[in-house]
Structure 1
Amino acid sequence: MGFCFWVCFICLLNFYSLSFVSSQADASAEGTVFIDGKAPIGRIDDDFICATLDWWPPEKCDYGTCSWGLAGLLNLDLNKNLFLNAVKAFSPLKIRLGGTLQDKVIYDTDDNQLPCTSFVKNTSEMFGFTQGCLPMNRWDDLNSFFQKAGARVIFGLNALAGRTIAPDGSAVGAWNYTNAESFMQYTVDKNYTIHGWELGNELCGSGVGTRVSADQYAADTAALQSIVQKIYQNVDLKPLIITPGGFYDLDWFTEYIDKTTKSLDVVTHHIYNLGPGVDDHLVEKILDPSILEGVSGTFSGLHNIIKNSTTSAAAWVGEAGGAYNSGHNLVTNAFVFSFWYLDQLGMASKYDTKTYCRQSLVGGNYGLLNTTNFEPNPDYYSALLWHRLMGRNVLSTSFTGTDKIRSYTHCAKQSVSSSHMQLSSIVNPPFLGP
């Protein structure tokens, strides 16, 4: 029997079970979905769907393939109606600005004494590129686009500023937030709305490229909270404090969360559970229920840490592209990838994850939109379907009969009679063109 994916869009007040037969060619299997509608097991944000924009320049290449083109934050074409309409269709879409190079970005505010130049490929540098700079006129243009699109912006700050890299690869010293503070002040002075400030990218646990200890990161988070409170003291809507934006590590996250109970709003982690994009067996992995289920330990582990702590912080997936190093053309941007993506959305919700940020909105081989022309890839419609139909309350759901069918249930986003099941789909996708 082939892999079957089934998502329930249901609003119920009591127990409900559904029996059915699934068949393909000469194989068939009976199964039962059991939904406990008495009380939710999780509650997601109304704007659960999130996507990322990255800093990678066109010279970012993986395994000889350069898939980013002009999709980086410094060179993305913000004047395409197709791009604008794709974001507006969500009303709103959370967009996280960040990625590997964010910890090498300086902001060209009044305090900056360095030349404001773009990233340059240099294999001897950490992450393969030199330091880059965000000009304030580009920041103005980005915010103009976000305002027109109705996006909710999460900005990833450079957390390596002021640190040195020790011989063992660890980042030593406190975060120097001078340039970040100046950038935040510029942002507030311009009346740009930021939904959240996120500190650092993949520096927790063993890190990627380098790492910061949990104790130091907690101190840096407190510093971020302090400057946000100062800069936004006369602003009614204050942004969220978000960290650490890296891969889950039980000991590191436990210590960090215990030390940030008064300074942290959102704890973010990243997921690339399918391995490298160059893998020729990605399709088999995507359709293997044991591979899909393998990442549940990350969700449940972080959920348990938060539940057993005094923190009020919520869990988000801050970046998830499935296959790292830019994904795989004709796989992570094709229909088959929705089996991974929709399962991830369902599993994340099941463990009370509030927001899920897909890597990427555009860029690499895993974008919701095509890098060259902004045409939607299949997962764009998967994301939009979820956004329009799946309500905030997550219900306990189990399936018996075969491990090839995975099921998740939410109360419907639009209220329906409690005695009816709503199985819906987008029959007419929105027109996104000019």
Structure 2
Amino acid sequence: MSIELTLNPEKLEVIREMDPRVQSYNIEMTELTGGTFWVPYTPEQISGEEAFPTCDKMEDMMKMLAGMQTKVPAINLYDERIRSFAKAFGPVVIRFSGSWATRTYYDFDGHTGGKAPEGFEFVLTKEQWQGALDFVKAVNGQILVSVANSFGVHEDHTGAWMPEQAELLWKYTEEQGMKIEYAEFMNEPNMLNGMCLPDGYTLDDYGRDYDLFAKWLRENHPETKLVGPCSAENERGAAAGGMAALLLGTEDIMKRCKEAPDYYSYHSYNGISERGQMFGAHFDFDAVTSEYYLGATMEDLHYNEVIRDKYAPGAEMWVTESADAACGGNTWGPTFVETIRYVDELARFNVNTRGIIFHNTLASSAYGLLDADTHMPRPQYWGALLYSRLAGTTVYDTKEEIREGAHVYAQSRKDGEKGFCYVIINNSREEETLVHVPACVQYTLSADSLRSQEIKLNGNVIASGEDGTIPELKGEEKEAGTITLAPCTVTYLVVGDER
């Protein structure tokens, strides 16, 4: 049975002002230096015509995962296409991190010849970091980094963390007339194994080193705000079993850190991709428009809010990695259905808290907003871009319960005019949603199939220029009356304020 809604702008009540940089993203350190990342899915796997291989034994899964990594070249951040599409989002914070960053040596004078010294595994050159800085400047961004914590930055490779490497990064950045606005200590301290740490490294050691970093940062670079704990653990993962149940607890980490972060950070993926499905917390494709799947990241938010309130009260919530699935994204990550999940996450996050979501990634693997090879937009990019262009920073309570077919959100208008921008998601796969509306401008995103790699705006395929040109994204003017929203669509309605 179809759901019927009536929009009543006069009944909207202000909840909060959201962070205008809520749509931010990651560029992994392995992308900056060149390294390894996930093997791309085949076209048939993306379309759903070919099943992704799996296995029955955990040891076989580990072997299979090892074979799913491939070498990737360093990303070209001077490419005009990637710059054009990234700049269109407006102000963002760009996070340069990932597990690769924990083991990366900064060589800004070329003395290593590209070979990592003992205690590190990878090298970041001056040219690579300069490319990152120039990109940040070009797209009107700010910087968030996580620093190395491999045994090469520890006294005698076994003792306390030392700041010399971090100081190189800050010094070079400042010499270029820029600054590092935000910093995390280490990516995902819930997983200490395999991070090139000193032998026998414990959570107590981590707490000591985190505090050393925090004090060094605040004494030497007070302009940089501390973000943490950069946690990957959540209640859903522990309940699912597998690898997630082995993660160290976020509260156990925070207990050992005396220095409170300025911003509380954690990672939140809706699940684990087909690559790691034996680890648990994997959603099959049939579930990805369901209420439980779409609400999963809110469970992670509320879980982490309890810890935040205890150890960093008042700090904003920063989701420093988020996408449809860990392990590089699902096979359907590059398709239309991911638009539904991502737009819903953005709108629902702003209703529940103030902070930033760092989409993982801008242009790498199946979950990238842009294709890794071509830098052309995936469908979810267009859903996110319309959100950025249409939805203002004031968030309202619509008084509508979230339910299948009716995820209804409202914000102010981005254009500065009086009025509101409604975001309405019909996540039903079968039923239409009828909406009684005032006069408005309608932008409805749809596709011929959920796994389509094309996306339509008001029935017309969105096609960007090969040079990175953004096409005109024009809405349809509607008189007051009733509009019908087809199953599995994302709709923005821009209305005036008649109050």
Q: TM-score, normalised by structure 2?
A: 0.66
Asked if 1:86 is matched to 2:85, the reply is yes
**Which consecutive unaligned segments of at least 5 residues does structure 1 have?**
1-26, 120-125, 165-170
> Is the contact made by 1:262 and 1:311 (CA closer than 8 Å) also made in structure 2?
no
**Match of residue 2 from structure 2:** 28
Indicate the residue corresponding to 2:106 in structure 1.
107
1:68–1:364 Cα contact (<8 Å) kept: no
Is residue 261 of structure 2 the alignment partner of residue 264 of structure 1?
yes
Tell me the residue number matched to 1:314.
Answer: 316
Would the alpha carbon gap of residues 45 and 420 (structure 1) be closer, same or farther in structure 2, given more than 3 Å must change? Answer: closer
SS of residue in 2 equivalent to 1:375: coil
CA contact (8 A) 1:268 1:318 kept: yes
Q: 1:360 deviation in Å?
A: 0.7
Tell me which of 43, 48, 54 is aligned to 2:22: 48
- Compared with structure 1, are the counterparts of its residues 84 and 417 closer, same or farther at alpha carbon in structure 2 (3 Å cutoff)? closer
1:336 deviates by 0.8
Count matched residues.
Answer: 381
- Structure 1 Cα separation of the partners of residues 166 and 416 of structure 2: 43
Assess if the C-alpha contact under 8 Å between 2:103 and 2:121 holds in 1.
yes
Q: Report what 2:387 is aligned to.
A: 386
Instruction: Give the Cα separation in 1 of the matches to 2:384 and 2:218.
Output: 34
> Which one of 219, 224, 231 corresponds to residue 239 of structure 1?
224
Alignment of 1:273-284 (within 5 A): 273-278=270-275, 282-284=284-286
Equivalent pair of 1:43/1:394 in contact (CA under 8 Å): yes
Aligned to 1:291: 293
CA distance in 1, matches of 2:88, 2:152: 40
Higher relative contact order at CA 8 Å, sep ≥6: structure 1 or structure 2? 1
Task: State how 1:26-425 maps to structure 2 within 5 Å.
Answer: 27-31=1-5, 37-40=12-15, 42-56=16-30, 57=34, 59-62=36-39, 69-70=72-73, 75-109=74-108, 116-117=114-115, 131-161=121-151, 174-204=160-190, 209=194, 216-232=205-221, 238-249=223-234, 252-254=249-251, 263-278=260-275, 282-308=284-310, 311-329=313-331, 331-400=332-401, 402-417=403-418, 425=443
**Maintained 8 Å contact 1:103/1:161:** no
Deviation at 1:219, TM superposition (A): 3.8
Cα distance, 1:103–1:308 mapped onto 2, change above 3 Å: closer
After superposition, the C-alpha distances for 1:8-63 in whole angstroms (9 at most, x for unaligned) are xxxxxxxxxxxxxxxxxxx53335678863331x4421111111111334643455
| 3-state SS, counterpart of residue 324 of structure 2 | coil
Gaps of at least 5 residues in structure 2 are 40-63, 236-247, 423-439, 445-456, 470-499
8 Å Cα contact 2:182-2:226 kept in structure 1? yes
**Separation in 1, partners of 2:6, 2:310:** 34
**Cα 1:419–1:54 shift into 2, 3 Å:** closer
User: 2-side partners of 1:401 and 1:372: how far apart?
Assistant: 37
| 1:232-265 Cα shifts (integer Å, max 9, x gaps) | 36xxxx1221122221457944465577675421
- Contact 1:29–1:402 (Cα < 8 Å) also in 2: no
Q: SS at 1:78's partner residue?
A: coil
Q: 1:224 to 1:38 in 2, by over 3 A?
A: same
Q: Name 1:21's counterpart in structure 2.
A: none
The amino acid of 2:18's aligned partner reads I
Answer whether contact 2:365 2:372 (CA < 8 A) is retained: yes
Question: Deviation string for 1:111-151 (max 9, x for gaps)?
Answer: x98553379xxxxxx9xxx8110012221222123222322
CA, structure 1 residues 345+400, in 2 after alignment: closer, same or farther (shift >3 Å)? closer
Q: Aligned in 2, Cα 1:221/1:192: closer, same or farther, shift over 3 Å?
A: same
| Alpha-carbon contact 1:161-1:176 (below 8 Å) kept | no
For the residue of structure 2 that corresponds to 1:153, the secondary structure is strand
Per-residue deviation at 1:364?
0.5
- Percent identity of equivalent pairs: 19
- Deviation, 1:107, is 0.7
2: distance between equivalents of 1:161 and 1:424? 55
**Contact 1:53 1:96 (C-alpha < 8 Å) held by counterparts:** yes
Deviates more, 1:307-316 or 1:76-85: 307-316
Query: Cα deviations across residues 277-302 of structure 1 (Å, max 9, x unaligned)?
Result: 44696432321112222332211122
Shift of 1:344: 1.6
Q: How far has the Cα of 1:85 moved from its partner?
A: 0.8
Bigger fraction of residues in helix: 2
* Preserved CA contact (<8 Å) 1:214 1:256: yes
Distance 1:269 1:344 in 2: 15
User: Structure 1 residues 407 and 420 mapped into 2: Cα distance closer, same or farther (>3 Å)?
Assistant: closer
Q: 1:335, CA displacement in angstroms?
A: 0.8
Q: Could you say what secondary structure the match of 1:322 adopts?
A: strand
- 1:408 Cα deviation (Å)? 2.6
On the 8 A contact 1:53/1:98 being kept in 2, the answer is yes
Aligned-partner Cα distance in 2 for 1:114–1:416:
56
Q: Aligned partner of 2:215: which letter?
A: S
